[in-house]
Structure 1
Amino acid sequence: MKLADHYTRTGIYITLSVLTAGAVIYFFAINFIAQQQLDRSLQQQLTEAEDYIHTSDQDPQRYDLDRDHAVFVKIGQQNLQKRFFDTTYYNPRERQIEPGRAVEDLVKVKSGNYKVLITISRESQRYFIGVIITITLTLLAGLLFILFITNKYMLNGLWKPFQLTLKEIKEFNIAEANQFKGERSKVDEFTELNEAIREMSLRVTHDYLSMKEFTENASHEMMTPLAVVTTKLDTLIQDETLSAEQLAQITDIYSSINKSSRLNQSLLLLSKLENKAITDKEPIDLQVVLREKLLQFQELLLSKDLSLSSDIKPSHIFASKYLIDILLNNLVSNAIRHNTMGGKIVIALDGDLLSIKNTGADLALNEQLIFDRFQKGKESQGTGLGLTLVKNICQHYGYGIEYKFDYPWHAFSVRL
């Protein structure tokens, strides 16, 4: 959920809670005030009735208090606690029972003591409270609606600099010359954020360029002595005066030097892939490239007596031919190198799916580790970076790659 939505939801929840609590308190306060008003009216009418009875010789039971109910009952009690209470009221005009409010008290006259009960209608009070509740709820609904609209739409402009900053961060490429600029904002926090990101991007770019320069220089400096050693070894191997033991040792050294050279090139390529330094692309007919690659491995196939079956259909992609060549080279060479004598290889290319299967070890490889650096079998003569390069190339172009084992087949599938 976006930050603006969190802010809107939190604001609405808090506002709704506060307003609901306020509305409840407001309701009871209004209800209390209205009841007090009714009690004062009852008290006034009770006082008027008592004054009338004390100044008149008429029977109290004949007292008429307008349209309200006044009942006098002669009693023998000398004391009666005055009280106000809720009751019902019969409306003679509407001919219906309504909620009412009553007062009860003792009136003493010459003819005896009377209990007076005066009842008035609460209908006007209920109508008054109902109107207040309706107005309050309408105001609450209007306030919540305005709050939602304000947070949802009117405050979008406030978050626009942040959204532009986020977009620029996503598009930031450490290998490009364009640095992070940041969108100007009137909000101090966004300005500070842009300044911090700008400084960080400058440091990261500087570190990247320094590391890139070091890697390229180190690779170049390593390749030069390796090339010299390889040339010297080529010359020594051709020396006919060497004994068999000396020739075997020189051959081992030659193999180690070649492995070091391949390892150096692979690490350099991985560094370029991880930093997205390879950007060249061109249309590639994968069917043609794959057939050419299989022709290059014919001698290795024959040396291990491997049978190859292929179903290669037309497929066109847009990528670096250099990287695709490395990807195919590693997948096919792995299928040959880790196969058994007299084993089988099945290669299929159908649209956007490339599948390479080979027979091999009876146990499945560890799917969690096979694409990590320097993960290889004990008897492997490779650098341990082949499948790592494959995975990084796939990630570079957004391809999907997976490994499956279905005895006796080890299968690698690339979803182009």
Structure 2
Amino acid sequence: MGRMKKLLDQSLRPLVIYAMVVLIISIPVYFLTINWIWENELDKHHYAIREKLEKRLTSMDLPDSSVSEMINMLDKVQPGFSFTQTAAPSPDSSYTLIRFDTFMNDREQFRCLTTDIRVNGTLLRVLIETNMEEIDETILAIAAVTIFFFILLLAGFVYLNRKTSLRVWRPFYETLASLHAFRLEGGKPAALPVSQVTEFTDLNQSLDRLMEASLASYRQQKEFTENASHELQTPLAIIKSKLDLLLQSRSLDQSQMQILEDAYQAINRVTRINKNLLLLAKIEHAQFDGQQDISLPTLLTALSVQFADRFESSGIRYIQQVSEMTLQANPMLLEILITNLLVNSLRHTPAGGSVSIRAEQRKLIFANTGTSPLDEQNLFRRFAQASSEHAGSGLGLAIAREICERYNWQIAYDFDCSHHHFTVSF
């Protein structure tokens, strides 16, 4: 599964990408536009200079020799002007070129106009040049200012959009927080916030109906489980006592005794399932409210003594590596949790294997040797078997998970290096 993304980031991302694309496209457009405007203005300026030059030289009414001297003087001292006498007129030409400029002692870019003027009947070819290096500086300055304000505008847009979106979506996040805190075992629907937005109001009404229906179904399921378990206790006890009497009878042959023994084992299993269902109902009804500080090493040592015979009879080595750790919980629930995990470890450990319990950073790890991983999908489900080889009641790990959920602990399973690992994180 890929990395999750927030809803607000999903809406902002295409806008930011679009803005960046527009910014990138705008840079050459700015350059071409400003360059075109600059060249157009320079061309107008050159024609204005041509008109002024022709009018002033003509209005001065100087003799040809004086006009020639003035033109020679202008040709030498005025940068950007060049005069050449010509016999026939030519079309005007405006163009841009890059050449070495002796005045600036560097390669420069020029905008040029080649045109004709007539002074005292003499036709002169005039070249007017203007250095265009200022264009690059102008373009850079305008581009820098534009980019600055563009980024400022984009940042403001992102900020305002996020602030506005957070305000608009606040009821949604409040609803989400309420749903996170909702628990079926609490018996009450989550308190959803009131919103003036039609869509959020419809969403909350639908969620209210869904939670009410779920709570009703959950209550019915709990009542059925609890009532059925209570009702089954008496007939199961009667059947078990009758079987006890029959097993003590001496008038039965070997085949009849085997049938009774099988029936007795089946009744014992049903009785265990019934007790576990009652225990689950009590846990869900929060009937184990009393909490106290419990020393985990002390509790583990006491329980390991109870399992010593089973470890010895199966040839299983038991290892306990738990330093001092104190938990605040109901003593009975914590004992049931550890007992169920120990029973589960014993059930899935082959003869001659090992079972170890160790503590690491507020984690309790049950490890036991095994041959193949368990079915993780069915591990903590009620009446589901994680392994076909070692069938139990199907409720032990479900009870363990229910206890962990009650205290907001995490329980996880993994299979590594031929060992089953059940980890409870406190």
Q: TM (normalized to structure 1)?
A: 0.76
2:83 paired residue among 60, 72, 76: 72
1:282 aligned onto 2:291: yes
Residue 253 of structure 1: how far off its partner (Å)? 0.9
Q: How far apart, CA to CA, are the structure 2 residues paired with 1:114 and 1:346?
A: 110
Query: Quick one: distance in 2 between partners of 1:89 and 1:248?
Result: 116
Report SS of the residue matched to 1:175: helix
Could you tell me which of 374, 379, 398 is aligned with 1:371? 379
Shift of the alpha carbon at 1:271? Answer: 7.5
Offset, 1:38: 1.8
Match of 1:191 among 197, 201, 211: 201
TM-aligned CA deviation for residue 79 of structure 1: 4.9
Letter in 2 for 1:228: I
Quote the offset at 1:219 in angstroms: 3.2
- Segments of 5+ residues of structure 1 without an aligned counterpart are none
Contact 2:375 / 2:386 at 8 angstroms: preserved in 1?
A: no
Q: Quick check: 2:374–2:387 contact (8 Å CA) kept in 1?
A: no
Taking a change above 3 Å as real, the CA distance of residues 303 and 124 of structure 1, as seen in their structure-2 partners, is closer
- In angstroms, what is the RMSD of aligned CA positions? 4.4
Deviation at 1:71, TM superposition (A): 2.7
Q: Which residue of 2 aligns with 1:247?
A: 257
Give 1:402 deviation, angstroms. 4.7
Write out aligned runs for 1:219-234 (5 A). Answer: 219-234=229-244
3-state DSSP class of the match of 1:166? helix
State percent identity of aligned pairs: 27
2:49 is the counterpart of 1:38:
no
SS of 2:202's partner is helix
Check 1:192–1:32 CA distance in 2 against 1; reply closer, same or farther (3 A cut): farther
Could you report, residue by residue, the CA deviation over 1:286-331 in whole angstroms, capped at 9, with x for unpaired residues?
3443344344446656766777676776543223333333333334
Moved more, 199-208 or 187-196: 187-196
For residues 320 and 137 of structure 2, the distance between their equivalents in structure 1, rounded to whole angstroms, comes to 89
Q: Does 1:172 align with 2:179?
A: no
Determine the C-alpha separation between the residues in 1 that align with 2:303 and 2:132: 98
**Given that residues 89 and 121 in structure 1 are in contact (C-alpha distance below 8 angstroms), is that contact kept between their aligned partners in structure 2?**
no
Please say if residues 180 and 197 of structure 1, whose CA atoms lie closer than 8 Å, have aligned partners that are also in contact: no
| Cα separation, 1, equivalents of 2:417 and 2:106 | 88
Change in 2 beyond 3 A, CA 1:124/1:406:
closer
1:321 to 318, 331, 340: 331
Q: Which amino acid letter does the alignment assign opposite residue 37 of structure 1?
A: E
Match of 1:142 among 136, 152, 161: 152
Aligned residues: 407
Q: In 1, Cα distance between the equivalents of 2:105 and 2:312?
A: 113
Matched, 1:105 2:115: yes
Q: Give the CA deviation at 1:117.
A: 1.5
Does the CA contact (< 8 Å) of 1:323 and 1:393 recur in 2? Answer: yes
Q: Distance in 2 between matches of 1:99 and 1:339?
A: 88
The answer to whether 1:2 aligns with 2:6 is: yes
CA distance in 1 between partners of 2:320 and 2:37 (Å): 93
Residue 375 of structure 2 contacts residue 387 of structure 2 at CA under 8 Å; is this kept in 1? no
Amino acid at match of 1:72: F
Partner deviation per Cα, 1:124-163 (whole Å, 9 max, x = no partner): 7666655544543342243233224324556543343333
Supply the AA of the counterpart residue of 1:29: T
Structure 1 residues 403 and 80, CA gap change in structure 2 (3 angstroms): closer
Structure 1 pair 245–138 and aligned structure 2 pair: CA distance change class (3 A): closer
Task: Note the C-alpha offset of 1:73.
Answer: 0.8
Whichever residue aligns with residue 372 of structure 2, its letter is: L
Letter in 2 for 1:365: S
| TM-aligned CA deviation for residue 382 of structure 1 | 3.4
**Residues in 2 aligned to 1:22 and 1:345: alpha-carbon distance in whole angstroms:** 71
- Distance in 2 (CA, whole Å) between partners of 1:298 and 1:167 is 47
Q: 1:179 to 1:104 in 2, by over 3 A?
A: same
2-structure distance, mates of 1:19, 1:411: 55
Q: SS where residue 185 of structure 2 aligns?
A: coil
- Is 2:215 the counterpart of 1:208? no
Residues 1:160 and 1:315: Cα distance change in structure 2 (over 3 Å): same
SS in 2 for 1:114: strand
Q: 1:6 Cα deviation (Å)?
A: 4.1
Choose 8-17 or 52-61, whichever is displaced more.
52-61
Q: Are residues 201 and 334 of structure 1, via their aligned partners in 2, closer, same or farther at CA, if it must alter by over 3 Å?
A: closer
What is the alpha-carbon distance in structure 2 between the residues aligned to residue 95 and residue 297 of structure 1? 99
Match of 1:263 among 273, 280, 285: 273
Amino acid at match of 1:205: L
- Distance apart, 1:285 and its partner CA: 3.4
Matches of 1:101 and 1:344, distance apart in 2? 93
Moved more, 59-68 or 254-263: 59-68
Q: Residue 112 of structure 2 aligns to a residue in which SS?
A: strand
Q: Cα 1:48–1:272, aligned 2, differ >3 Å: closer, same or farther?
A: farther
User: Can you list the C-alpha shifts for 1:347-394, whole angstroms capped at 9, x where unaligned?
Assistant: 6566856566778xxx6132445836223454x463354455445545
Post-superposition offset of 1:69: 4.2
Q: Hey, what's the Cα distance between the residues in 2 that align with 1:230 and 1:240?
A: 18
